[in-house]
Structure 1
C-alpha cells in the first residue's frame, strides 16, 4: 500500500440528499426542467387539431424531447444566477505536501505541438515551485503506427534528455486509454498523491495545475476535480464556431452544472485532477457481457469512473473556471460525426450500468443525461416525420414559439452575462454580433447533427460496433452532405404530397439546412 493510500481516505458520511451540498440547486434544476418540458408539451397539445393515435404518440415524444432541452436551459439559467465563487489565494512560496503526476495520454496524435506545450508547462511549473518531484510529467503512449512512433520519439527526445518528462510507450495497448492509465497506476504510482490526466490535444497552464493541486490539498474529501475547458483557436469555420459557442455558453452552463451536481459531479476524461487513492476505486471498470456495441469495455469510461469514485465515498466536483485549461476539437463535420458516433455508442452502453447498486442518485442522473443526449435526436426526427406525413395536424405557431424560447434561453443567458460585463459600447456591439453569428450557424448545423445522431442511434440499436478511436470506414463513400440533402428532399416531397400548408412552418427550419448540406459542409470545413 502506498503512502498516498494511507494518508488520504474518504470521510464517509450517511447524510441523505436533503442535507448534502447543492441539494437546493438540484431541486431548482429539476423543477425548472419539468416546468419547461410541461410548457412545451402544453403548447403542442393546444395546437393539435385531431387527437389520433399518432397525435398521442407525438405528444409523448414531444414530452421526452422537451425534458432534454429544458434541462439544458435550466442548467444555463442556474449558472446565470450563481454568485461569483471566491478565488482561493495561494500563499507566496506555497509548495504541495503531496506529489502530483501529470499523465499525458498519446495515441497517434501529432507529437510536435504537444512537445512544445509540455516544454512550456515544465518551465512554468518549475517557476511556480512545482519542480524537484512536486509535479512530474509522464507521456503515456499507445501509438502503434511505425511512422508515427518514429515522429513521436523524435519530437519528445529533447524533453526526455533534459529530464523534463518521462516517456513510455506500451508494446500492447490492451484496454486502450483506461488500460494505459491502469498500467501506470500499477507500476509507477507509488509516492504520488494526485494524478492529473491530459489528452494529447489538452492544454493546461502551470498556474492552473498549481491551483488544482492546492484545492485538492485544501479539501481532503475531494477525490476528483474536473476543470472547465475552453477551446484552442479553430483552423476552420467549424472549428472557430465551436470555440465561439464554447466561449459564449460554457460559463453559465459550467456554473449551473457545478451547482446542481454538488459533490457528485462528473468527469470528462481529461483536464481533471484525481487523488490516486480515490481513482483506485474506479480503475477496474466493468466489462459488459455480450458483444459490442452494448457489450465489451465501455467506450465512455469517464462518466463511469466518476460514478465509481463517488460510490466509494469521495466527493467529485467541477471547477467551471476555463482559464488556463483548454482542448482542441474536430475541425470538420466529418471528424465531429466520427467522434460523436463513438460517444453515442459509449453513452448508450450506460443503459446497462445506470441501475448499478450503490450509485449516487446524481451520478445516475449524469448517466441518464448522457443517454438522453443521443436519444433526443431520433425523438425529434420522429416528430418531424409525423408532421411531414400529415399524421399529426397542428395549427398555429405557439409550439414553435415555445420550443424556440426554451432553446434560446441558454443563449439569452449567455448574452446577458457578457453584456453586463462589457464596459464599452464597442465591446457590447462585438458581443451582440458574435452571439447572432453563433445563433445563425448553430441553427443551420442542428438539423445536420440531428440526422447523423439519429443514424448513429439506429446503427447502435441494429448491433453495429463503431470500434474505438478510428471508427470504421464506410463501405460506400458519398459526397459530403449528400445523405443529409437526401433526407431533406424526402421530407419536402412527403410534405408536399400530404399536408404542405400545415407542415411548412414546422419543416422549413429543418428541411432548408438539410437541402443545403453539401454547400454548408464545404463552407464549414474550409481552412481545415
Structure 2
C-alpha cells in the first residue's frame, strides 16, 4: 500500500492528507484502520443568539411540575425584608448620629456611602441566618444513595487554556475511573476542549490524550479538540462544542481546568436532572482544595467553614432562580441550546464585545425561557482550586471585574426574572463595594480635617468613638458600632458554630485548632482587605479608561514573586497608605488608631503579599495546624486518585515531540493529524495573516528546523492546527 504507514501494533493509517477527512464517507475498499480520532462524529445543533431587548412572554416554556418549580415568596420576604429593615435601622441611627448639629454636605456623603455599604452586608447577614438553620437541620440527615444505572447521556466538558496538561488529564482520569468503578461510565463521555495558544502546551496535551486513552482503555471515552482561534474565550469554546456535538447528549456537565467532582456527586447531578423535567441547570458549591500558600489556604478555610451557610442561605431564598458560576454545574442540553446563546454587547471592549462573565447571563437566560436554575447546596464532593497569591487574585479579579461591569448593560434586558437581576446586581456590587468603602474612608477623613482646620474646637481630649465628625451623638454612635460589628462578623461566627457542631468535621480538624484558625483568618483577611480594596478600585478605573483585561492563564501552585516585582506591584498601595497616615496624623493619633485596620494592610502590602503567597510560609502555617480543613486532613478519594496519576502524565509530557520532530516523523505526524480539528472553509479573498506568514516562512526555509526557528509561537500554533501547513513543513528536508 503506497503511502501507508505501519504501526507497531499492526495498525495502518492513511497518509496525512487523507487522515483529516471523514473516513465514514469513504468507499469500503478505501477504508483503512486509522488512529483514534480526537472527536466523535459531529451531531450539529442550532444555538440561536438570544436578544436582550426582544422577548415575548407568551413564548416562555410552561413548567411541567409547577408546584415543585415555583419559588416560595415567603422566603424572599424573610431574607430580603429582614435585610431592608436592618439597613433602614442602621441608616436611621447614622442619620441621628450625624444630625446633632445639622447635616453638612460631607456628612450627607458619609450617610449615603454608609447606607450602600451597610445594605450590602445586611443581605449577607440575613441570608446567613437562613443558611445556618438549613445546615444545622441536615447535620444528622442520611445521604441519599439512589441505585440503578442512569438512563441519560452526559457530556463532561473540560475547557482548558494554556494549563498544565498533567493536572488536567490526571483529574479527568480520576473522575472517569471513579465513574467506571460505580458502573456508570457508559453514561458519560469526556471532552477536553482546548483553547490553548502555546504550541508546546498543545503538543503536550496531545501526548497526555494518547496516554489517558492507553491508561483507561475501554473504561472511558476520552475526546479532545483544540480550536484554531479562541473566539469569545471560554463561552465561545463551550458554544463551539454545543453547535457541533452537544445534541447527542441529554446533559452537559461543565468543569474548569482545576475542577474535581466526586463520581458519586456526578451521578447524583445527572439523576437529579432526570428526575426534574423543569431543571435547566443545577449548580454545585465547590469547596476549595490543594491550597499551599496562606492566601489559598485562607480562602480554603473560609469557604469550608463559612461557605456552607452562605451557600445554603443563597439557595434558600433564590430557590428556582439560582445562579451559575461557570463550572461544576450540570446543564440540560436542549435548554441551553435553545435559550442561552449569548449575544455580543454593542461597542468595543471593555464594555462591549463578547460577554466575559457569561455564566450569570446564561443562568438569567435559562430562567427567562422557563427553566429552573438551582443551587445544590446539600451536595458535597465538588472541588476547585484558588489563586495562590494576592497578585494572582488581582489578575483573576481584573477579568471578573470587567465581566461583571458589562452586566450593567444586561440588567435592562427584557423578560429577566427579578431575582436574576439581583444576581447581576450583586456581581456588580461585589466590585463596586471596594471604591465605595474607599470613598467612605476618604469622606470620614475629610470630616475630621474639616473639624480640625476649619472649625475651632470640635475635638476634645476625651475619647470619642467617631472623632472625625464635627458633632456626633456618642451614645448612638456606640450602638451603631456594635450593630455594624454584629452584622459584619455574624456570618463568620454562625459558620464557625455550624462547623463545630458537625462532629465528623470537628473530629477531623480539631475544635481548638479551628477556633485558632478562625482568629488567624480574621487577622490576615483584615490585612489583605485594604489591598484588595485598592486592587478592585484600580480595576474599575482601568475599565472606565477603556482598557481590556486580556486573557491570561491562571497560576495554580506557587504564588511566590520576586521582591522587585512585589515592590512594583504594590508601590501605589503603599503610597496610598502613607498618604492616609499623613492626613490622619494631621488631625490626631486617635484618628490614626481609628484608621489603623486599613493603614496597616496598605503600609505592609509588600511583605503581606510576599509572605501570604509563599509556599514555604504556607507549609509552616500548615505544620502549626492553622487553617486546616477536613479535605486537607483527609483528602477526598478523587483528589488522591488525581494526585497519584499526575506523575505518569508528567512523564508522558516530558517525552512529547517538538514541532520539528513531529513534521519529520510520518508516524507521529499521522497520529497528530488524526487529532486536529477540521479547518473551516476560507471565503475567497479572506486571507488569514498568521497562516500566510507561516506558509511564507516555510517556503523561505531550507530545512524543517530552520523553518521552525523562523516562526513565532503564534505561527507554530497555526501550523500545528493546519494540516496543509504541516504537510508543507514536512516536505522540507529534516536536516
Match of 1:97 in 2: 151
Cα distance between partner residues in 2 of 1:77 and 1:457: 32
Whether the 8 Å contact between 2:349 and 2:546 is mirrored in structure 1 is yes
Is the CA contact (8 Å cut-off) linking 2:45 and 2:242 kept in structure 1? no
Residue in 1 that maps onto 2:25 = none
Structure 2 CA distance for partners of 1:281 and 1:315, relative to 1, 3 Å = same
Which of 575, 578, 583 aligns to 1:486? It is 575
Q: Distance in 2 between matches of 1:14 and 1:36?
A: 38
1:123 pairs with 2:206: no
Correspondent of 1:419 among 500, 506, 513:
500
Q: Aligned in 2, Cα 1:172/1:393: closer, same or farther, shift over 3 Å?
A: same
How far 1:215 sits from its partner (Å)?
A: 0.7
The answer to whether the Cα contact below 8 Å between 2:306 and 2:492 also exists between their aligned partners in 1 is yes
Q: What is aligned with 2:129?
A: 77
Deviation per CA, 1:437-460: give whole Å up to 9, x if none: 211111221111111111111222
| 1:318-329 matches, cutoff 5 A | 318-321=375-378, 323-329=380-386
Show CA shifts across 1:168-207 (max 9, x none).
1111221211111111111112321000000111111111
2:162 matched residue in structure 1? 108
Q: 1:271: which partner in 2?
A: 328
Cα deviation for residue 118 of structure 1 reads 1.2
The equivalences for 1:39-438 within 5 A come to 39-48=89-98, 50=101, 51-82=103-134, 83-84=137-138, 89-92=144-147, 94-132=148-186, 134-161=187-214, 162=217, 164=220, 165-321=222-378, 323-389=380-446, 390=448, 391=450, 393=469, 395=472, 396=474, 398=478, 399-422=480-503, 427-438=510-521
In structure 1, C-alpha distance between the alignment counterparts of 2:432 and 2:312, rounded to whole Å: 25
For the residues of structure 2 that align with 1:47 and 1:482, how far apart are their CA atoms? 37
The superposition leaves residues 384-403 of structure 1 with CA deviations (integer Å, 9 ceiling, x where unpaired) of 01122325616546244332
Question: Contact (CA 8 Å) 2:340, 2:365: kept in 1 or not?
Answer: no
- After superposition, the C-alpha distances for 1:348-390 in whole angstroms (9 at most, x for unaligned) are 1101111111001110110011111111111110010112232
| Separation of aligned partners in 1, 2:409 and 2:606 | 37
User: How many residue pairs were aligned?
Assistant: 517
Assess if the C-alpha contact under 8 Å between 1:342 and 1:466 holds in 2: yes
Q: Are positions 1:452 and 2:509 aligned together?
A: no
Q: Gaps (5+ residues) in structure 1?
A: none
Q: Which structure 2 segments of 5+ residues have no match?
A: 1-42, 47-58, 451-467, 555-564, 617-735
Do 1:342 and 1:467's aligned partners in 2 also have CA atoms closer than 8 Å? yes
Task: Rate the CA distance shift 1:282–1:332 in 2: closer, same or farther, 3 A.
Answer: farther
* Cα distance in 2 between the residues matched to 1:469 and 1:23: 42
| More off after superposition, 81-90 vs 401-410 | 81-90
Please give the alpha-carbon distance, in whole angstroms, between the structure 2 residues aligned to 1:478 and 1:505.
26
CA distance in 1, matches of 2:203, 2:382: 29
Q: Distance in 1 between matches of 2:373 and 2:279?
A: 6
CA shift digits 1:464-496 (9 cap, x unpaired): 22123459xxxx984343322211111111122
Alpha-carbon distance between aligned partners in 2 of 1:89 and 1:322, rounded to the nearest angstrom: 10
User: Distance between the aligned counterparts of 1:462 and 1:4, measured in 2?
Assistant: 40
- Tell me if 1:520 matches 2:608: yes
Deviation at 1:156, TM superposition (A): 2.4
- The answer as to whether partners of 1:307 and 1:359 remain within 8 angstroms in 2 is yes
Distance 2:249 2:595 in 1: 57
* Deviations 1:255-293, CA, capped at 9 Å, x for gaps: 001011110100000000000011113442121111111
CA deviations 1:153-174 (Å, max 9, x no partner) are 2222212343631111111221
- For 2:607 and 2:614, the matched residues in 1 are separated by 11
Decide whether aligned partners of structure 1 residues 128 and 4 sit closer, same or farther in structure 2, where only a CA change above 3 A counts: farther
TM-score for both structures, normalised by structure 2: 0.67
Q: Is the 8 A contact 2:318 2:419 kept in 1?
A: yes
Q: Does 1:496 align with 2:553?
A: no
Secondary structure, counterpart of 1:104 in structure 2: strand
Contact 1:10 / 1:221 at 8 angstroms: preserved in 2? no
Q: Does the CA contact (< 8 Å) of 1:268 and 1:302 recur in 2?
A: yes
Say which is worse superposed, 434-443 or 194-203, in terms of deviation: 434-443
Taking a change above 3 Å as real, the CA distance of residues 99 and 243 of structure 1, as seen in their structure-2 partners, is same
Q: Which runs of 4+ in 1 moved over 4 A?
A: 2-5, 13-17, 85-88, 394-397, 423-426
1:10–1:324 CA distance, 2 compared to 1 (3 A) = farther
TM-score of the superposed pair, with normalisation by structure 1:
0.92
Greater CA radius of gyration, 1 or 2? 2
SS in 1 for 2:86: helix
Query: SS of 1:273's equivalent?
Result: strand
1:291 and 1:210 mapped to 2: Cα distance?
42
Distance 1:96 1:322, change over 3 A: closer
Whole-angstrom distance in 1 between the partners of 2:66 and 2:73: 10
What is the alpha-carbon distance in structure 2 between the residues aligned to residue 433 and residue 313 of structure 1? 47
CA-to-aligned-CA distance 1:65-114 (integer Å, 9 cap, x gap): 1111111122211100224296663443x111111100000110101022
Q: Secondary structure at the match of 2:568?
A: coil
State whether residues 331 and 525 of structure 1, in contact with CA within 8 Å, keep that contact through their aligned partners in structure 2. Answer: yes
Matched-pair contact (CA < 8 Å) for 1:112–1:155 = yes
SS of the aligned residue for 1:479 comes to helix
